[in-house]
């Protein structure tokens, strides 16, 4: 029983840790998560080609009032 509890705890920890695996060292990704989920879901970076991301960012930049630096870092994450 104790072993069962233990493995349950380990699983819970492991599973939730996986979901929250946002690399905070990656500034562009962090900004993306912070700035871009207000109006719609966070689209996965693999859903669009880099070229398309740049076009989208032209529009979304205005919607989310990004600074040029923020924009550059988000594009770096999404389109490079």
Residue 36 as a binder of ligand HEC (CB under 6 A): the answer is: yes
Residue 63 as a binder of ligand HEC (CB under 6 A): the answer is: yes
Residue 76 as a binder of ligand HEC (CB under 6 A): the answer is: no
Near ligand HEC by CB under 6 A: residue from 17, 25, 39, 41 = 39
End-to-end CA distance of the chain: 49
C-alpha–C-alpha distance, residues 67 and 22, integer Å: 22
Using alpha carbons, select from 80, 5, 77, 4 the residue that is nearest to residue 36. 77
Residue 60 as a binder of ligand HEC (CB under 6 A): the answer is: yes
Using alpha carbons, select from 33, 38, 30 the residue that is nearest to residue 63. 38
Applying CB under 6 A, the residues found at the interface with ligand HEC are 35-36, 38-40, 43, 56, 60, 63-64, 66, 74
């Amino acid at each position: 029983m104790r072993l069962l509890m233990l493995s349950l705890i380990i699983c819970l920890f492991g599973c939730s840790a996986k979901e929250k695996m946002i690399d905070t060292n990656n500034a562009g990704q962090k900004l993306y998560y912070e700035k871009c989920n207000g109006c719609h879901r966070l689209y996965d970076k693999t859903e669009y080609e880099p070229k398309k991301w740049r076009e989208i960012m032209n529009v979304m930049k205005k919607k989310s009032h990004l600074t040029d630096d923020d924009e550059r870092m988000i594009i770096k994450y999404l389109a490079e």
